[in-house]
Structure 1
Amino acid sequence: MSAKRLPGGRPQLLSQARHWNASCSFSTSRRLSSVDPPAASVAASFVSRFQSLGPQTRAQRIDANQLQLLTLTLNRPSLFPGSPSLSNTPTAPPAETSVPPGYHLVYFTPAFLEGELGPDGTDASYNPEAPFTRRMWAGGEVLWPRSADGKPNPLRVGQEVRETTRVLSAEPKVVMKTGEDMIVVGVEKEFSNDRGISIIDRRNWVFRKALPTPSAFTPVSTAPPSASHRSQASASAICTEGNTHSRTVVQSPVTLFRFSALTFNPHKIHYSLPWARDVEGHRDIVVHGPLNLISILDLWRDTRNNGADPTSVIPQRISYRATSPLYAGDEYQIKLQDEGDMTKVHILGPGGVVAMKAEIQG
């Protein structure tokens, strides 16, 4: 993957950002000349503001309770195959338990008063200026660096961990289907423990123009709740054919609510049916992109554990991008195709529509 470099050699993730979307497609650089000037100026102002501030850091201890609750939210009775059940028990994972790939997403969550949130519930941590405040998680990549001996450095329960956040880029784009301006923001989060860097998490967020909503929102839809609101979360056994592994998944409204709570994510599209349907135009509440990322990584490690030390079942890298929304109650399939050290991933929603693509380097 190509990457520009920021001063000091820091990679700037841009190549995938030209193609990522969240239920929309947007232009490549050939269309940039048609981007509205305000979007370009807002993007430039955003980068200047955050890069002048420099990296933002904070520290947090890896809490066992958070790890237990995420495991149960994912409908997994135990953290690793053969480890004790975490369901309906006061016994949380013990100190030094390694955090599985992707589970770092329930730590270092945003901390805002409700009055500081946007109308759609999103926090304004790294928002461009108005009107580009309607945020969607479009994709990214996560890296787990290896030490000199070739081993990963997982986060562990009880560790004091430092998060360092940097703004890498902000680019104006145009939605192909509508001609609407938007801004793609690239952010990097680096997680370090006493052994050094554990995780590098680069995220691309799409910011579209805020939707016009009344100050006192009143649902306008009279459609009855969909069948999804009678569903329960489920995940099938792994099906393996040759070098392809698959798992069928259904996410329930309860799962989406619990995941929102654990990640302290108040974005209304994930729990408010009236907002998701009547304001945002979705047919139901939306499955979180980060939840799908964790589901992909869980399937990958489940096909490779074979009684091995769980701390060794950590990939070197995953890159991913969302291409279509999934909703509560949807039955969808996660498919992994191994090609040597590389695994190609597709999440297929109803009708075989591709909802997310990923590549994992083992």
Structure 2
Amino acid sequence: MSCTFRRLYSSSSAASTASQFLSKSQSLPPYKQTQLLDANQLQRFSATLSRTELSRTVPENGTPLPACWHLAYFTPAQVEEELGADGTDTTFNPPRPFTRRMWAGGELEWIGGDKNRLKVGQEVTETTKLTSAEGKKTRAGEEMVVVGVEKTFENEHGVALIDRRNWIFRPEITIPQAPASRPPEVPLPDGKHTRDFTQTPVTLFRFSALTFNGHKIHYNREWCREVEGHRDLVVHGPLNLINMVNFWRDIRGGEVFPKKITYRATSPLYAGEKYRVVMDEEHDKVTGVKIVDSFGNTSMVGRIESI
């Protein structure tokens, strides 16, 4: 794989970069876009997720979007020349060198309850604003910038959903990393409710296409192995979130909606490797859930609150 790497690091620390980036970003008006929630996108998203309930026929107007499926809409709109070297959207990137983005976690809150769901056929406005930027260090001592954004989704009835996301921006790669070796497998953990997944390159490609996500770690094996040091294609954090919530919906009865979800990604998952969603029994309207890979690593932890 032929790649050109340039060392253009700023002398600024992560803390000062984050402070300047936050000040500049919050001086600008929020970013708004309005979109029709069309049925074709929902049908194809359902097929990508192997959920046949909405993929056999085109959903009718008024069909509610299942929890977290709004991620199929309001996708990035940058032309290719504006994307990062790794293919990522750069709309909310801090200055270089902190341009290597990873989805760290977030919180989703359904505001309207049963009276206001996002539905097929609605015209919805998404408003996005940057809420925080903070310089931190990894366990290995590498500097990074943690950025928080808040997205509100409003239809004719008012705000239906608030989606708060945290992204980690690490320094860009200037020297290609050696691919990580695959560790020895261990038994997957037991739990009250479990569901196993093994993602294929086809699923990752289709999910990237539908969410218009150009990040190369999800579809370009050469980039994964020869540049970023991953052992294979990386499973999308949002895909894991959706599958986690779909499992919760199936346990509770399919058409239910949560009140609030908090989640945090802690370790990558890879195509072709088996992993397990482990879900607790609900207690005081709260369900704990985690995703564990075949090597003993917890890859995502979450908390789902019922209405």
Q: Which residue of 1 aligns with 2:88?
A: 122
Percent of aligned positions that are identical: 53
Contact 1:140-1:204 at 8 Å conserved across structures:
yes
Please, which of 119, 124, 127 is the counterpart of residue 156 of structure 1?
A: 119
Match of 1:173 among 129, 136, 141: 136
Displacement after TM superposition at 1:171 (Å): 0.2
Say if 1:353 and 1:152 are closer, same or farther in 2 by CA, change over 3 A: farther
State whether structure 2 residue 146 is matched by structure 1 residue 184: yes
Counting only pairs closer than 5 Å after superposition, residues 294-333 of structure 1 correspond to structure 2 as: 294-305=242-253, 310=255, 313-333=256-276
Secondary structure, counterpart of 1:130 in structure 2: coil
Residue 351 of structure 1 deviates from its aligned partner by 2.5
| Secondary structure of the structure 2 residue equivalent to 1:345 | strand
TM-superposed deviation, 1:173: 0.3
Give the RMSD, CA atoms, in angstroms. Answer: 2.0
- Secondary structure of 1:53's match? coil
Question: Which residue, 14, 28, 46 being the options, matches 1:71?
Answer: 46
Aligned match of 1:287 in 235, 248, 254?
235
User: How far off is 1:54 after superposition?
Assistant: 2.4
Task: Pick one of 37, 40, 44 that aligns with 1:62.
Answer: 37
Q: Could you report, residue by residue, the CA deviation over 1:257-304 in whole angstroms, capped at 9, with x for unpaired residues? A: 000000000000000001011111110000000000000110011111
Paired letter, 1:67:
L
> Does 1:131 find its partner at 2:105?
no
Name 2:291's counterpart in structure 1: 347
In the alignment, the residues of structure 2 paired with residue 349 and residue 44 of structure 1 have an alpha-carbon distance, to the nearest angstrom, of 36
Gaps of 5+ in 1: 1-35, 80-85, 227-239
Matched, 1:206 2:168: yes
Q: Report the counterpart of residue 187 of structure 2 in structure 1.
A: none
Q: Which runs of 5+ in 2 are unaligned?
A: 1-10, 183-189
SS in 1 for 2:295: helix
For the residue of structure 2 that corresponds to 1:75, the secondary structure is coil
- Name which of 191, 207, 216 aligns with 1:259: 207
Cα offset for 1:339?
A: 1.9
Q: Secondary structure at the match of 1:129?
A: coil
Q: Which residue of 1 aligns with 2:300?
A: 356
Cα deviation, residue 112, structure 1: 1.2
Q: Which amino acid aligns with 2:262?
A: S
Secondary structure of the 1:163 match is strand
SS class of match (2:20): helix
| Residues 112 and 161, structure 2, Cα contact 8 Å, conserved in 1 | no
Give yes or no for contact 1:144–1:152 (8 Å, CA) kept in 2: no
4+ residue stretches of structure 1 with deviation over 4 A?
A: none
| Contact 2:35/2:125 (<8 A) preserved | yes
TM-score if structure 1 supplies the norm length? 0.76
* Counterparts of residues 7-18 of structure 1 (less than 5 Å): none
In the aligned structure 1, how far is the partner of 2:115 from the partner of 2:53?
A: 22
Asked if 1:194 corresponds to 2:174, the answer is: no
Cα deviations across residues 14-44 of structure 1 (Å, max 9, x unaligned)? xxxxxxxxxxxxxxxxxxxxxx952122111
Work out the CA distance in 2 between the residues paired with 1:99 and 1:341. Answer: 22
Residue 15 of structure 2 corresponds to 40
CA contact (8 A) 1:146 1:316 kept: no
User: Secondary structure of the residue that 2:160 maps to in structure 1?
Assistant: strand
